[in-house]
Amino acid sequence: MMLIYCPEENPRVSWTLDIVFKQLLGIDYRLTTFLDEAIQSDGPRLNYSFKEAGGIPFIEASGMLFERDIRDQSARLIPGKKWANLPTIFAYWKSTDTLPFDIFSAIFYFVSRYEEYLPFEPDEHQRFRSTESLAFHLGIIERPIVNLWILEFKKTLKSWFGESLTFKEPEYQFIPTIDIDNAWAYAHKGFWRTIGGLWNDRKNMEARNFRFQVLRDNQPDPYYTYELINKFHSEIGVHAIWFFLVASHGRYDKNISSGNFYFQDLIRRIALENVVGLHPSYAANSSPSLISLEAECLGAILGHTITRSRQHYLRVHLPDTYRALAHLGIRDDYSMGFADTAGFRAGIASPFRFFDLEENKITDLLIHPFQVMDASLQQYMKLSPEQAILKIKGIVQEVKNVNGDFISLWHNESLSEWKEWTGWSEVYRQLLAIAKTE
């Protein structure tokens, strides 16, 4: 048990210390606001405040965890002295080799997504760009900086307390996830969407003929890759989490109608051996009532309440998106990642409870950050299949080094070997082999 003196107990402090000690270090702790209690304690103890006292190991607080508002933190984000070759923020003016920065404030800043509450330049889908992130500017976007800081902090704690502390390390996990934005390329689209597709193909006879072959069942639909995905998963003994888009048709929401028999049958068959969650529509991001309707629709198909989600187009607007999900009873969300690159959006390779920064409130919604998405590699980063495999290897190794959770995001169409996805089914097969738990 670690006793931690802090001049104030509040949600920011409790949330951060829970991540550091209980989750990542496996140490139970107790917080006290009485300095004398810490001074008189015989066991492992820390002083997290503004001044040293009683010879207790001291971590100087920057003050951010005692603030109530959201403010520009740029003066505190100037990189300080490197620590074990890792960049630091919230650095001390008089830094030491032991701990040259307020590690708790630094972790809070990254994981709470503090920077996403401040003004930034969004992309065309109103998403937070990777180039807007502090991680990008520090050159650590492909490194789980929070987990790496914790590994060094563990060494520091051992130097302070020796064998009086026992740590319980987390275990590496691999969680493949699949998004179904468009269950079939041509089949089961309905009369008017099929007519529209034929009209669009009117000047491309090859495409038109291929569409006809699929519609006549003379050719498999290119997006029907489910048997291949299941084969790949069974080869290494994993099950994926599948997210289905069940929204009404729109500009960015183009899946099969949720009332379609074949689509419902597909969802139920996938759910027999896998966990299924909701893929809230593009339009639903700004409409909690629409998310609720879509969750009810998927729940009716499966016969149970939906508790997992991932936002379509990864549209996460803090805190509104996560507030809406939590209010609807979603317990786990998998949207925390960059659309435009691979890496660690929250600087961490471990799940964490969403902290509502505007309300300074710890919520029950568990956020599961992902690191690699097929569309990021192929469409945004413009990598070849061979380059993508190398990128995946590097990211996976970073996660394994810190015993984190590696979460991949793939789509059924990217295994189609069709059009721009030629060669990418092998990328996914390699990803599974690289990422599997040994």
For residue 187, give the amino acid letter: A
Residues whose CB is less than 8 angstroms from the CB of residue 75 and which lie 6 or more positions away in sequence, other chains included: none
Per-residue model confidence (pLDDT) at position 288: 87
Structure token digits, residue 92: 């001390």
Whether 349 and 371 have beta carbons less than 8 Å apart is answered as: yes
pLDDT string in tens for the chain (438-residue length) = 999 999 999 999 999 999 999 999 999 999 999 999 999 999 999 999 999 998 999 999 999 999 999 999 999 999 999 999 999 999 997 766 679 999 999 999 999 999 999 999 999 999 999 999 999 999 999 999 999 999 999 999 999 999 899 999 899 999 999 999 999 988 877 666 666 666 676 667 666 677 666 777 778 899 999 999 999 999 999 999 999 999 988 888 888 889 999 999 999 999 999 999 999 999 898 788 999 999 999 999 999 999 999 999 999 999 999 999 999 999 999 999 999 999 999 999 999 999 999 999 999 999 999 999 999 999 999 999 999 999 999 999 999 999 999 999 999 999 999 999 999 999 999 999 999 987
Q: How far apart are CA 434 and CA 403, in angstroms?
A: 15
What local confidence, expressed as pLDDT, does residue 217 receive?
79
CA 117 vs. chain centroid, Å, equals: 17
Residue 205 Cα distances to 192, 198, 252, angstroms: 20, 10, 26
- Cross-sheet strand order for the sheet of 308-309: 352-356, 361-367, 332-333, 308-309, 275-278, 241-244, 173-180, 405-411, 372-373
Q: Within 10 Å of residue 374's Cβ, how many Cβ atoms?
A: 21
**HSE on the CB side for 387, CA within 13 Å?**
9
Question: Strands 361-367, 29-32: parallel, antiparallel or unpaired by DSSP?
Answer: unpaired
Spell 296-335 as b/e; 16+ CB within 10 A means b.
Answer: ebbeebbeeebbbbbbbbbbbbbbebbbbbbebebebbbb
What is the 3-state secondary structure of 30-41?
EEECCHHHHHHC
Rounded CA separation 122/396 (Å): 28
Please give the structure tokens belonging to residue 396: 């996976």
Give dist(CA 374, CA 380) in Å, integer.
10
Structure tokens at 393: 């290897």
Residue 86 phi, psi (nearest 5): -110, 140
State residue 61 phi and psi, 5-degree precision. Answer: -80, 135
Cis-peptide into 170, omega within 30 deg: no
pLDDT the model gives residue 252: 86
Please provide residue 84's backbone torsions phi and psi, each rounded to the nearest 5 degrees: 55, 40
> Scanning the structure block, which residue is given the tokens 């000047």?
203
Give every CB contact of residue 185 below 8 A, 6+ residues apart in sequence.
214, 221, 222, 223, 413, 416, 418
Q: What is the dihedral of CA 429, 236, 144, 319, to 10 degrees?
A: 90
- Among residues 182, 263, 274, 175, the alpha carbon closest in space to that of 223 is found at 182
**Amino acid sitting at position 355:** F
Q: What pTM, to 2 d.p., does this model score?
A: 0.95
Please state the length of the chain: 438
Strand 361-367 with 352-356, pairing: antiparallel
* DSSP string covering 364-391: EEEE----EEHHIIIIIS---HHHHHHH
Residue 50 amino acid letter: F
Return the amino acid letter for 310.
Answer: R
What's the one-letter identity of residue 23?
Q
Using CB atoms within 10 Å of the CB of residue 272, give its burial: 0 to 12 exposed, 13 to 18 middle, 19+ buried.
exposed
Question: Would you say 90 and 109 are in contact if contact means Cβ atoms under 8 Å apart?
Answer: yes
Q: Cα(268)–Cα(154) distance, rounded to whole angstroms? A: 45
**Residue 123: what pLDDT?**
96
Q: If you classify domain 173-185+221-435 with CATH, what class do you get?
A: alpha beta
- According to the model, what pLDDT value does residue 429 have? 98
- The domain spans of the chain are 2-164, 173-185+221-435
